[in-house]
Chains A and B, each alone.
Chain A
């Protein structure tokens, strides 16, 4: 069976596609496109909101609400929204699948980005903030020049965690009919073409790993080394798992008076 997967992945026709089926390259493109849309929308909403809530300490209930969304089963939400929205959308193209999927993807990515941006700003040591104020920095300068750079590692783990969840869920969206790499998984399963199914799974896993790696590199070169201690003995190591823990800690801190 393992052999068949390699045969499937090695067939150039599977990569370029035929008239009847989209190829791997197109599906990777589609998958990334869905991911980028969701991340951009949630970033545009979640990042400034997280900065504002973290800086002013106002509206923390929003972070709690966002965290509460975690208990919702994504696949259930996806099917619910699809069933609800699809009769309202007519016309050609994949908008019927895309709109409900993107709503779910944004609902997934938003809590990770919002809660981590909030926690990042919140976790800046008070002494650092006081020092900045003592040096005569304005409120705005404190936010942009002190709190934001210090919050960057957590902001990035939030983005990485969001990206992974979005990629994983975009795969499942193929179940309701969206394109993307999940197509191979569900089509393979339906036609009992297990090489195609496992090949799709390999590609999804590879895509997730590559995207996480790229974001880790961006993080490495955009977070101040004064914050990460990259050139000092004890470097701060952060990855996408940190986001999930941080979210819960933030939620706990908010729920306890």
Chain B
């Protein structure tokens, strides 16, 4: 893996040129491992959040259990899931499940609180217009809760990008492997390029995903622009 270019931090471009295929492959894995848990987590949190809003007694246990799961450090969860689920130790599936757990833990509360923040007269008006409970959720309550849910999504996504990299230290391929490579090549003095390249790509990925969510929120809540322009 050692490259012909120098070992200074700004040699990251040379390093990238030399290992283009490998780095892009790791980046691609990293994208998948960060995005998939957010999508799965959102799909699970919306019904769970709705249930805890609709039935009062569901809320406290859901909040406590997810809070407990949120407390477990990621490295521990990556390694304990195989024991609990019978998956292989270095299977990327463990990372996906672990990060889905964190995403759900964060989003359930956000969804429940976001739905609770919908003004009562709005839901009353929707009911009076003849909307069924499901229509009201889909057409009125969820759209109004989008900004709140999106704020939670942004936090979860940015955190995931950083957490995925940790799995690199236990041998799962993604951008974290660049840090491992840099660490191993630094025995005789610092070898910066892969480390700096990894950090730059991680931050760039986090910023791009964050911007995508902001854009998606803006497109799905057109009334906010109208309100702002008024």
Residue count of chain B within 8 Å CB distance of chain A: 55
Decide if A172 is an interface residue (CB 8 Å cutoff): yes
Q: Is A230 engaged at the interface, CB distance under 8 Å to the other chain?
A: no
From B38-46, B47-55, B118-126, B168-176, the one touching the partner chain is B168-176
B67 close to A (CB within 8 Å): yes
Cβ distance B94 to chain A, nearest Cβ, rounded Å: 11
Q: Per a CB cutoff under 8 Å, which of A73, A204, A241 touches B198? A: A73
Any chain B CB within 8 A of the CB of A2?
A: yes
Q: Which secondary structure dominates where chain B touches chain A?
A: helix
Q: Nearest residue in A to B189 (C-beta to C-beta)?
A: A87
For residue B101, CB closer than 8 A to chain A, the reply is no
B73 & A87 in contact (Cβ 8 Å cutoff): no
Interface residues of A in 40-59 (CB under 8 A from B): none
A189 to B170 Cα, complex, angstroms: 8
Whole-angstrom CA separation of A39 from B55 in the bound complex: 39
Which of B158-187 touch A at CB < 8 Å? 158-159, 161-162, 165-166, 168-171, 175-176, 178-180, 182-183, 186
The reply on B1 being an interface residue by CB < 8 A is no
Are A201 and B162 also in contact (CB < 8 A) when A72-B203, A244-B106 are?
Answer: no
Stretch at the interface among A21-29, A91-99, A125-133, A163-171: A163-171
**A13 contacts the other chain (Cβ, under 8 Å)?**
no
Q: Is the interface of A mostly helix, strand, loop or mixed?
A: helix
Is B75 in contact with chain A by the CB < 8 A criterion? yes
A side interface size, CB within 8 A: 48
CB pair B199–A204 under 8 Å, yes or no, is no
Given A72-B203, A87-B189, is A197 in contact with B79 using a C-beta cutoff of 8 Å?
yes
Bound form: Cα–Cα A186–B152 in Å: 32
B68 at the interface (CB under 8 A from A): yes
* Cα–Cα, bound, A72→B203 (Å): 6
List 9 A-B pairs, minimum CB-CB distance, nearest first. Answer: A168-B73, A201-B76, A73-B202, A73-B165, A71-B206, A201-B79, A83-B190, A76-B199, A204-B76
